[in-house]
Every structure is written in C-alpha cells, then in structure tokens.
Amino acid sequence: MSDLQARVLDWLTSREGEMADLLRDLVNADGGTYDKEGVDRAGAVLTGFWAAHGIPFRVTPVETLGDILRADLAGPGDDPRPILLLGHRDTVFPKGEAQRRPFRVEDGRAYGPGVADMKGGLAMEAFVMAAFAACGAPVPLAMLVTSDEEIASPACGPAISEAAKGARAVFNAEPSRRADGTAAGNARTQVVTKGRKGGVFLRMEATGKAAHSGARYQDGRSAILDLAQKVAPLHALTDLDAGITVNVGLIGGGQTVNTVAPSAWAEIDLRYVEPAQRDAVVARIREIAETPLVDGVTARLQIKGEFRPLVQTDAARDLLDVWTAAAARFGVDVSAGFTGGCADSGLTAAAGCPTLCSVGPVGGHAHTPDEFLEMESLLTGAKTLAVSILTLAARTPARAA
C-alpha cells in the first residue's frame, strides 16, 4: 500500500463521525428541486465544508433553481483533465419535509429526505475531496454538485456535459443498492449501475374551440376528444422486448363541464435502451400527437426534459473493474445492474466520458418516506472511491512538463 493511500485511508477513517454530521446537515437543509432557497441552503453546507478544508470552489448562479457548485483540486503533471465526482443535491420532497422528518439514525440506518438520493453520496464525495486536499491529490479532482436532477436537469445539464467533456472519468454517487434488496443487516454487498435507459419527457398540447355544450355544441371543437384518442396509439408504441416504453402519465384539459373543451394537455414519458432507438420513437410520438383527429383542433408536441441512456463502453467496464477491486479490499462484494431509471450519468456517458453510476453509499426506498442509508457504507464508500481514484492515477503517469 502506497504511503499516500495509507494516509488518505487513515484520514477518512478518523472522520467517520464528521461524515455523519455533514450528512445530517445536508439532509436537514431540505431542498426539493423547486425550493431554490432550500437547495441553496444545502449548497451552503457544502461550500462551507469545502472552504473549511481549503478546497477552491466556484458557484454558478441559476435564476429559478439551485445554483451550480464546483470544487477543484489541482494534481501533478500536465494533464489538466480531472476525475469528476458528480452529484445532485435536490430531492423529490415538498418544502418543509426535513423539518417534518429530520435526519435520524436507528440501528445503523439513517433516515430523512434525500438521505440516500443522494446526500449520502455528496457527503462521501466531499470527504474524499477533503482527504486528497489534506494529503495531496495524485490527479486533478473535481466535484460538481447540481440542483435539478430530479426534473431531468434542465438548468444543469449543459454544465454536466461540459464538465464531462473535459474529464478523464466520472463517478456518479447516486445510491447503490444491496444485492439482497432492502432487508436489514450489514452493507457488505453493493449493486452499482452499468446501464440506464434514456428518458424523454414530452408535453402535448391540443387547442380546439370553446362553445356552450348545450346551446352551441356544433360550433365547438373539442381538444379533449382529440387528445384522448391519441393516448392509446401512444401507449401502443411500447415494445417491452426492445426496452421501449411510452407512458402518458399526466393529462388535463377543458374549461367547465358545460363547455366543449377548448384546450387539453398530456405529459408523456418515453424510455429506451439504445441511443439509435430514440429519434424514430420521438418522430412517431410527434406524428401521433400533431396529426389532428378532430377537425379544427391543432396540437403540438414539446420536449420538456431529457436523459441520455447510460451505455457501457469498454472504458466504463474498466472503471467498474477498478471499483470492484477497490471495494473488495474493504470486504464489499460488487455486482452491476441495469435500470430503466434515468440519471445525470447518461449525460456524461453521452459526452464520451467513461462513467460509473450508483457508487454512492448503500441505500433503498428512494423517493419514499422509508428512504434509508446504511451508515456503515458511508465510510466504506469513501474509502472505495479514494482507492479507485488512486488506482486510476497510478495508471496515468504524469507526463513530463
């Protein structure tokens, strides 16, 4: 074991309690995606931590959502490309959730809004940054903390792609899972994510013509009638064997019960596996959505948000091997799974950067009040990340200046 590795692991091990404190402060800061104040409060917890550990950072303001935060550590050599540690600090919960359900630990498990998804991953990454700040980073390291992952990163997406283009590898600290589901016990198994579906969130809006449905029915053009007939053909685009699903998840419209509906809308979620599948299905959705079925009704389709699929490349497979070997040092058995859930790792993979996702501490029941994090995996995860970084650094010797 190298001297640097021993120092970094010691540094982390002696700060397990402080990691739990940082996690507590991040959870209790609250921060549903649309609660800019709460998301920025969680951001201030992180920037305060970075400042206290002498880590340079910058804040990029975002007007309506939380700001974008990035910390950087310089490394030796003349290759400026960092290993990028990625995370988001927004949660899916309503404002005030952390006051109603503050951070608590019971039987080795932590609870609270966003404790696993993904404030645990942020605490882990922040401590790895601090460990290398104290002991010396073997390669440049960057930590990018975004604010809108739970709504498909409309504001932070470009910054994520940009950061990934300039990075040598990405670790995204979404929560990992236990191999045996969510049963209580130790956290010595870990399922990371090797592949994710791509997702496109679309909105269809139909415009017709209002008329009194009793007196002037024949003058009306019902947007609801038009839109409703499109739901079945949209769902019929689903091809489960090919991994393509189309779901109309929200629908609305109309004015009053006695008015022929002048407007209607629906929101559609498309998921797919292969990048090549995307354009053809989006084109079919557009064709169905925008072809009038009621004379006099017009409809248009808009893409509201999008995640790229996480596709496993050879370089990403190699990253998984590095992680697996590092975790084994701490008695953790790693396996890799595929999920239809989307994340920012799709953006970094699409930018061409080798990406490993769900390397955060082990947790479960994300997006529900039962969300939990195995506290033991906070330190183990940080050590695994540190060793993975050192392994990658040892392989890319600093070029002569």
User: What phi and psi, each to the nearest 5 degrees, are found at residue 210?
Assistant: -75, 145
* Residues 80-139, interacting with Zn ion (CB under 5 A): 117-118
In three-state secondary structure terms, 193 is: strand
User: ∠32-34-37 over CA atoms, to 5°?
Assistant: 80
Can you tell me the distance from the alpha carbon of 220 to that of 214, in angstroms, rounded to the nearest whole number? Answer: 11
Give Cα separations from 191 to 53, 160, 313, 342, 372 (angstroms): 31, 24, 18, 16, 16
d(CA 245, CA 199): 9
Q: How far is the CB of 339 from Zn ion (least distance, A)?
A: 12
DSSP 232: H
Number of residues that bind Zn ion (CB under 5 A): 3
> Of 183-212, which residues contact Zn ion (CB under 5 A)?
none
Minimum distance from residue 88 beta carbon to Zn ion (Å): 6
**Using an 8 Å Cβ cutoff, are 265 and 252 in contact?**
yes
- Nearest residue to Zn ion, by Cβ distance, number only: 117
Min dist. Cβ of residue 86 to Zn ion (A): 11
**Token digits for 274?**
């292969």
Here the tokens at position 178 are 């236990």
Interacting positions 136-175 with Zn ion (CB under 5 A): 174
- In the complex with Zn ion, which residue's Cβ is closer, 4 or 92? 92
Shortest Cβ 381–Zn ion spacing (Å): 15
Residue closer to Zn ion, measured from CB, 90 or 226: 90
As a three-state string, the secondary structure of 257-283 is: CCEECCEEEEEEEEEECCHHHHHHHHH
Shortest gap between Cβ of 134 and Zn ion (angstroms)?
28
Angle between helices 36-52 and 121-135 (to 10 degrees): 20
Q: For the CB of residue 366, give the shortest distance to Zn ion in the complex, in Å.
A: 7
Cβ nearer to Zn ion, comparing 275 with 341: 341
* Cβ-based nearer residue to Zn ion, 72 or 148: 148
Select 164 or 210, whichever has its Cβ closest to Zn ion: 164
Q: Specify the residue, 30 or 174, whose C-beta has the smaller distance to Zn ion.
A: 174
CB of 374 to Zn ion, least distance (A): 17
Query: Residues 152, 342: contact at Cβ < 8 Å?
Result: yes
Contact assessment for residue 19 and residue 121, using Cβ atoms and an 8 Å cutoff: no
Q: Which is nearer to Zn ion, 65 or 224 (CB)?
A: 65
Q: How far is the CB of 196 from Zn ion (least distance, A)?
A: 12
CA distance linking residue 267 with residue 262, whole number of Å = 18
Report the distance separating Cα 213 and Cα 70, nearest Å.
57
| Contacts to Zn ion from residues 361-380, by CB under 5 A | none
Nearer residue to Zn ion within complex by CB, 156 or 227: 156
Would you count residue 30 as binding Zn ion (CB under 5 A)? no
| Interacting residues with Zn ion (CB under 5 A) | 117-118, 174
